[in-house]
Amino acid sequence: MKSAIAKRDVHQDSVETDVVSVVTDSRDCFHCGLPVPSDLDLYVNIDGVDQPMCCHGCQAVVEAIIASGHENFYRVRTEVSPTGQGLVPEFLQATEVYDVPEIQGQFVHSLGADMREASLILEGITCAACIWLNEQYIAGLPGVTDVRVNYATQRALVRWDETRIKLSKILQSIQKIGYRALPYNPDQQQELHRQQRRLQLRRLAVAGLFGMQVMMISISLYAGAWSGMEASFEEFFRWLSLGLTLPVMLYSATPFFISAGRDLARRQVGMDVPVSLAIGIAFASSAWATINGQGEIYFDSVVMFVFFLSASRYFENMARQRCAASVEQLAQSLPVVTTLLATDGGTEESVAAATLAIGDRVLVRPGETVPADGEIIAGFSALDESLLNGESIPLDKNVGDRLLGGSINVTNPLQMEVKSVGADTVMAEIQRTIERAQAEKPPLARLADRVAARFISFVLLIVVSVAVFWWQHDAERWFEIALAVLIVSCPCALSLATPTAISASLGRLQSAGLLVKRGSALESLNRVTHVVFDKTGTLTRGRPRLERVICSQEYDRGQCLQIAAALEQHSEHPLARVLVQEAGMLEKRKLAQVTSTAGGGICASIDDEDYFIGNANYIASHSSAEIPAQWLEEIGADAVTTVVLARADRVVAMFTFVDELREDAKTLITHLQSLGKSVILMTGDGDAAARQVAELTGIPDYRAQMSPHSKMEAVQALQQESAVVLMVGDGVNDAPVLSTADVSIAMGGASSLAKTSADIVLTANHLPAIAQAMVVAARTQRNIYQNMGWALMYNFGAIPAAAMGLIAPWLAAIGMSVSSLLVVLNALRLTR
Amino acid sequence: MEIIYLLIPISLVLLGVIVWILLWAVKDGQYDDLEGPAHRILMDEDRVVEPQKNSRRGDAG
């Protein structure tokens, strides 16, 4: 018999991230797509059609959306919405703490007497329509003057009139339409990024606009040189070019000079050294020629060079900053509000977690997140630390044990004393590790940087020798030729080759529903030989469904469900949730003396009769009852997940659950096999369940009953046979295996992004995207090689030509720009 | 051709205006979210035909 309590599942995330097709089954909830309990008749009329609802939470949400006149949301959304099941009144109350001025101090900015502004993190966003709905809805609240939601970061900026609406009211209103909003304090890092991005964009705009004018005038000058031009006009045009180039030099080109100066101070040669030299020398000589009224001017080359380089820097920077946003979400897993206890242990007070100091006493209720690192001073509970160390089974902790901020209290209330806060916590350390990993450049880009650095020293050497050579042979042309070599040889194309291809692919994958956390993951993905799948939550929906209820003679189905649900109300376990949901509107029975055993079951008395509910082992150890052999026969040899309800002397009922296979699992496996990858299934579940899934999906190699540790060993064994392993898991429970594998993909929404150690997160509930990612990875690699090949060919072909005096500086500037542009355009092919 | 002494200053004034508008737009955050407006414009209508993409995605998902 299989244990019913298989895993402490991703009970925290499942609420927001379980997203299925928006075309819901007739018996699935219209709002959230979860199956509707069979005995629940709940409908909401939307556009004249009665749509089924799975729970009162969803019903309330849908009614709130319709009441506000936004039913259009259901027509344009592309994913189903987060379920309303988790909507709890406690959260509604907790928002009131945000009205306290001391707490507001951290999040809210004052704009004048009554105007306030705050940034909110929105949770539960599944598609663009959700953002639209939130924006429309918040903007419609009386007293809110301005709302702007950023689609990329899912943050909202809200301005409101303090005299007409309170922040807590805004948060509660968002809650009513089924999303969660939390105010947050944009950290300095992020603010810095934003300013940097804007500055870059302004520089780019200036270079582009002034550059256009300079180019226009240059064309007149070239035409004039060809067909004759009055000297006064020529003089005027030259001065005009100088004037128009000046802002570009002084404003747009400054980063190159600053960075070159930094490089030289460190006695290194970066790419900006030849760039600055070329721009600086060309501008100085042209300015001199203009003032003297004789000699060539190269203003067109200067502006073009600055514009194209600024553009490529801007795009590269954008790609890098997109990844940085995900880190912040880890900080979010610490609770914002926590319960502070007075030192005498008497009064409770809600305070912002950020204000906690060492030595404070805090109350952590079951289901709450521990706000900081500390020690238990009273109580005994199980704690889920999966977020921090990937350990999927909650650990029992007692007085004196250490608590880690970010872990979740599962069973009983605890009192803790805070030992470290802020940057000293384990959570902060993990966050720093993630940041470091993200800053790391992919190996190919590192190689390109190294090659480029050497190449630059080599180029500078060539420029000097070319200048010296032409000085001796043709003193008139030495400057022009040396300048042409300097411009033509800029290894921009070489340095652009990898970052552009990778950021193009990341964008492509993001729209396919895959968030790549590290650029280097693409490179490893391309080399993958073996794909290892976890079963629960990966190939299957990870959402158990009640299949059968087998009752003993004196009870009927309804009664069994009623008793089971009454008991299971006290459990957080996923199976318990299913039973409670299934019982739906049935009248709840009164309970007394509830005792729960972690990982086992629950005992309570109803009408003076003791009932036990839990897995078979729990029942065997707590009651003398035996499960009738006939029942076991009935459910068959295929060990399905079961929960048993019993009295002290006899078994009352047995509930069996199934976990449905995702319908696109087989498509994915077939596709992967056709790409020549070996597919392996590893699961903690029993042999029969594993075999069934393996047969249905066509996986030849399956391994059952594996602990997270043995999965890790199996992956290591594969790696020793020089296999490159891609691990696909549900993210939270599989953390150790995910980090062992060469590349890892975790299932889950964007909100669990930072909670997993995976390289890639599948945000769309669409498995074949994984095969697509492999195809994209292969194309990216090919694209990078094409780009590098082209860049090297260009540089090695153009330098000798320039050195021989065959290329004029303006032609060199065009050549350089075109070679970079070709690289960018080639990379952009990946987005299609 | 002396008209050029008038036309070019005019074009420079225009350039100045354009640069000022652009700098203002950047400062105002018009370029902070390039994705959003594309969705917003489709959804702000009272009645919208469901985009083609949805149904395809629905079948596959």
Write the CB contacts of A579 (distance below 8 Å, at least 6 apart in sequence): A546, A561, A564, A565, A568, A643, A655
Tell me which of A438 and A137 has the higher pLDDT. A137
Q: CB A59: neighbour CB atoms within 10 A?
A: 18
Write down the pLDDT at residue A210: 94
Write down the pLDDT at residue A87: 55
A-to-B residue pairs, Cβ atoms closer than 8 angstroms: 92
- Give CA–CA dist A765/A774, Å, rounded: 17
Note the helical H segments in A572-645.
574-583, 616-622, 629-635
- Give CA–CA dist A94/A171, Å, rounded: 10
DSSP A537: I
A534 is catalytic: yes
In three-state secondary structure terms, A369 is strand
CB A608 within 8 A of CB A578: no
Q: Report the percentage of chain A scoring pLDDT > 90.
A: 7
Both tokens of A776, joined, read 């994209």
CA distance A627 to chain B (A): 40
CB contact under 8 A, B8 and A240: yes
Least CA distance to A207: which residue of chain B? B19
Which amino acid, A472? Q
Q: What is the pLDDT of residues A250-283, one digit of tens each?
A: 999 999 899 888 888 877 777 778 778 888 888 9
Region of residue A427 (phi > 0: left; psi between -120 and 50: alpha; otherwise: beta):
alpha
| pLDDT of A743 higher than 60 | yes
Of A129, A148, A205, the CB nearest to B22: A205
Q: What is the pLDDT of residues A674-731, one digit of tens each?
A: 988 999 998 877 777 788 888 888 888 888 877 777 888 888 899 898 889 998 887 5
Contacts of A132 in chain B (CB under 8 A): 39-40, 43-44
CB contact under 8 A, B51 and A210: no
Write down the pLDDT at residue A18: 36
CA geometry: angle at A339 spanning A334 and A343, to 5°?
Answer: 125
DSSP A166: -
- Give CA–CA dist A488/A809, Å, rounded: 8
Of A75, A76, A150, the CB nearest to B33: A150
**Predicted complex ipTM:** 0.73
Write down the pLDDT at residue A601: 75
In three-state secondary structure terms, A23 is coil
Which amino acid, A366? P
Give the pLDDT band of residue A297 (cuts 50, 70, 90).
confident
Tell me which of A354 and A779 has the higher pLDDT. A779
Given the residues A373, A534, A742, A759, select the one marked as catalytic: A534
CB A394 within 8 A of CB A384: yes
**Weakest-pLDDT range from A261-265, A453-457, A569-573:** A569-573
Token pair 């009664």 is found at: A559
For A449, list phi and psi in degrees, rounded to 5.
Answer: -65, -40
3-state secondary structure A495-548: HHHHHHHHHHHHHHHHHCCEEECCCHHHHHHHHCCEEEEEHHHHHEEEEEEEEE
CB A340 within 8 A of CB A359: no
DSSP A411: S
Write the CB contacts of A334 (distance below 8 Å, at least 6 apart in sequence): A353, A369, A371, A372, A405, A406, A427
Average pLDDT over residues A592-618: 75
CB A419 within 8 A of CB A373: yes
Write down the pLDDT at residue A7: 37
Q: Half-sphere exposure of residue A374, counting CA atoms within 13 Å on the CB side?
A: 26
Tell me which of A56 and A236 has the higher pLDDT. A236
CA distance A237 to chain B (A): 10
Q: CB A354: neighbour CB atoms within 10 A?
A: 17
Contacts of B59 in chain A (CB under 8 A): 21, 23
Give the pLDDT band of residue A536 (cuts 50, 70, 90).
confident
Give the pLDDT band of residue A249 (cuts 50, 70, 90).
very high
CB contact under 8 A, B54 and A22: yes
Q: Judging by DSSP bridges, how do beta strands A601-606 and A180-184 pair with one another?
A: unpaired
Sign, CA torsion A161/A165/A169/A173 = negative
CB contact under 8 A, A21 and B58: yes
CB contact under 8 A, B35 and A21: no
- Give CA–CA dist A274/A484, Å, rounded: 12
Instruction: Provide the whole-model pTM.
Output: 0.57
Helices B4-27 and A231-247, interaxial angle, to 10°?
A: 10
Write down the pLDDT at residue A254: 92
- Give CA–CA dist A212/A221, Å, rounded: 14
Q: What is the pLDDT of residues A44-53, one digit of tens each?
A: 887 778 888 8
- Identify the segments of chain B with pLDDT beneath 50: 47-61
Q: Where are the domains of chain B?
A: 4-48
| pLDDT of A311 higher than 60 | yes
Average pLDDT over residues A35-39: 71
**Weakest-pLDDT range from A96-105, A479-488, A783-792:** A96-105
Write down the pLDDT at residue B56: 38
Give the pLDDT band of residue A202 (cuts 50, 70, 90).
very high
Sign, CA torsion A250/A252/A253/A258 = positive
> B41 CB near a chain A CB, below 8 Å?
no
Contacts of A766 in chain B (CB under 8 A): 57, 60-61
Count, residues in chain B? 61
Both tokens of A511, joined, read 């729209």
Both tokens of A257, joined, read 């000079």
- Give CA–CA dist A209/A207, Å, rounded: 6
Q: CB A108: neighbour CB atoms within 10 A?
A: 21
Contacts of B19 in chain A (CB under 8 A): 205-206, 209-210
- Give CA–CA dist A197/A315, Å, rounded: 10
Least CA distance to A136: which residue of chain B? B44
| Average per-residue pLDDT for chain A | 76
Full DSSP string of A457-492: HHHHHHHHHHHHHHHHH-TTTHHHHHHHHHHHT-TH
Both tokens of A757, joined, read 């150690």
Residues forming a β-bridge with A182: A121
CB contact under 8 A, B26 and A201: yes
For A541, list phi and psi in degrees, rounded to 5.
Answer: -70, -20
Which amino acid, A99? D
| pLDDT of A208 higher than 60 | yes
CB A119 within 8 A of CB A148: no
- Give CA–CA dist A570/A577, Å, rounded: 10
CB contact under 8 A, B33 and A233: no
Token pair 């997109």 is found at: A322
> B52 CB near a chain A CB, below 8 Å?
no
Q: What is the pLDDT of residues A142-199, one digit of tens each?
A: 888 888 887 666 678 888 988 888 888 888 888 888 787 777 666 666 677 778 888 9
Write down the pLDDT at residue A74: 80
Of A21, A72, A202, the CB nearest to B23: A202
